[in-house]
Amino acid sequence: MGAAMIPIVACSASDSDEILSNTEDTSEDVSSPDCSLTNSETEGPFPIKDPSSLVKTNIIGDRTGVPLSIAITILNMNDDCNPLEGALVDIWHCDKDGYYSEYGGTNMQSVDYSDVHFLRGRQVTTSEGKVEFTSIFPGWYQSRSTHIHVHVYNASGKSLLVTQIAFPEDSSDSPVVQVNAATDYGYSKGMSGYTYHSSDNVFSDGVDNELATVEGSVSGGYELTHSIIVSG
């Protein structure tokens, strides 16, 4: 169909000002993509002691549980949130029973895993800013919702951000609820006594930029994807 003919109408200077003003207002309504720094969080009591020795993709070790693949993209706030290549990304999380490796035998964690190195690893981001890990779905422990710790460094080893990744937990179909009901996979706690984000001592101020997308099933495993924005 041909373009519709638009009649030409003479307008006064005041009319022109109004048209220009309306045009400017319309352009202001177009929102730009969010490119704000991801929340900084505590490393917690169980950070990786020697991350450079744990360069690996598969971080499962001798642990068992529901399979979880983890894909994290690091974006640089100082470069219009383009991918940050060559960043060092360390991750660590607890096992299905809520225990961390490299620690234990104390009031913080009674079971002693101080000489074991499961569920910890380091990768270097690709040109797309991505790192990927093969793991298991974390369990939980008192006062904390399900989470993964992340520490991002630049290529020279300078710390850029310490943060944490939160998991969807908002319905009976959410991955956290489904996995914690998976007794056949060894998740024995269920959700009784679970600390939700709203009461969590890290996430209670909100998880808007820390909440991952987690898709899949107990039987087929889950895939976690998440973007972290740093000041690179």
pLDDT tens for 127-184 read 999 999 999 999 999 999 999 999 999 999 999 999 999 999 999 999 999 999 999 9
Domain that holds residue 200: 51-230
Give the span between the Cα atoms of 201 and 222, in whole angstroms. 26
Fill in the amino acid letter for 135.
S
Q: How many domains does the chain have?
A: 1
Query: Backbone phi, then psi, for 223, in 5-degree steps?
Result: -120, 125
Q: Could you give the C-alpha distances from 172 to 55, 57, 61, 175, 179, in angstroms and in order? A: 36, 31, 30, 9, 11
What are 18-65's pLDDT values in tens digits? 434 444 443 343 334 589 999 999 999 999 999 999 999 999 999 999
Residue 1 has pLDDT above 60, yes or no: no
Answer whether residue 37 is part of any domain: no
Answer whether residue 34 is part of any domain: no
Tell me the CATH number at 205.
Answer: 2.60.130.10
Answer whether residue 106 is part of any domain: yes
Kindly report the pTM of this predicted structure. 0.86
Buried b (16+ CB within 10 A) or exposed e, 105-116: eeeebeeebeeb
Q: How far is CA 79 from the centre of its chain?
A: 20
Answer whether residue 64 is part of any domain: yes
